[in-house]
A and B are shown apart, each in its own frame.
Chain A
């Protein structure tokens, strides 16, 4: 089955850019997502990218997709303390619409 890997922790200073990287194994995934989870809370969809795109920008968020290398990244510009959370890289199983989650990257933003 699909395997999604991402680094566990990232610490940045407020105002800097954050880049969270992810790799996945199933090249048939058609949608790749980034979800945010704050402590004790549910999931918030931040953004997604369709597999035939290589970049998507949405305000402070930029998603880059290298389909050949099965590499996905999320860049958060001008990172704020409110961005501190866990960020999950998620790939879909197009046949079932079920999702495979990465382990999550804990982003810590230092004031």
Chain B
């Protein structure tokens, strides 16, 4: 079946640095990818919709200047957490679905755990 990968799976960084997380669709092209965030012991919340070739759409309360999204190709979306702070520590998960297929084909990446010291 279709696979979505994320890199890195784990990252620890110092406060104030920027971290880039990649999301790749390995065997299909995705014009749209989604970024979710999960704080410890909480549910997943949609952060933004990544659109290939155009600006990302951010959910209410998500700072677009802090969470930069670039969807430069049909198989790659990147999320950059700029000037990361400890409160940004979370589990970041992306998802994508092959175009033209039904909602049953929503594929999630394995997630990236970010710890900001």
Chain A residues in contact with chain B, CB under 8 A? Answer: 30-31, 33, 42-43, 45, 48, 50, 88, 92, 94, 96-104
B26 at the interface (CB under 8 A from A): no
How many A-B residue pairs lie within 8 Å, measured between CB atoms? Answer: 50
Residues of chain B within 8 A of A104, CB atoms compared: 43
Q: Is the CB of A102 within 8 A of B43?
A: yes
Chain B residue numbers with a CB within 8 Å of A30 are: 103
Give the nearest-CB partner of A4 in chain B.
B43
Task: Tell whether, in the assembled complex, residue B43 and residue A92 are in contact, meaning their CB atoms are under 8 Å apart.
Answer: no
CA distance A88 to B103 in the complex (A): 17
Most chain A CB within a 10 A radius of its CB, from B36, B44, B108, B109 = B44
A31 and B97 CA atoms in complex are apart in Å by 14
Determine if A92 and B34 form an interchain contact, defined as CB atoms under 8 angstroms apart.
Answer: no
Chain A: CB-nearest residue to B45? A101
* Contact between B108 and A43, CB atoms less than 8 A apart: yes
Residue of A nearest to B6 (CB): A42
- Interface residue? B78 (CB, 8 A): no
What is the bound-complex CA distance between A42 and B44, given in angstroms? Answer: 11
In the bound complex, how far is the Cα of B110 from the Cα of A43, in angstroms? 7
Mark out the residues of chain B between 87 and 106 whose CB falls within 8 Å of any chain A CB in the assembled complex: 93, 95, 97, 102-104, 106
Question: Roughly how many angstroms separate A37 CA and B47 CA in the complex, as a whole number?
Answer: 19
Q: Which residue of B lies closest to A51 (CB)?
A: B103
Q: Is the CB of A88 within 8 A of B43?
A: yes
Interface centre among A88, A92, A99 (most CB of B within 10 A): A99
Beyond contacts A43-B111, A101-B44: 19 other A-B pairs, Cβ-Cβ < 8 A, are A31-B103, A31-B106, A42-B108, A42-B110, A43-B93, A48-B103, A48-B104, A50-B102, A97-B97, A98-B49, A99-B34, A99-B44, A99-B46, A99-B95, A101-B43, A102-B43, A103-B42, A103-B43, A104-B43
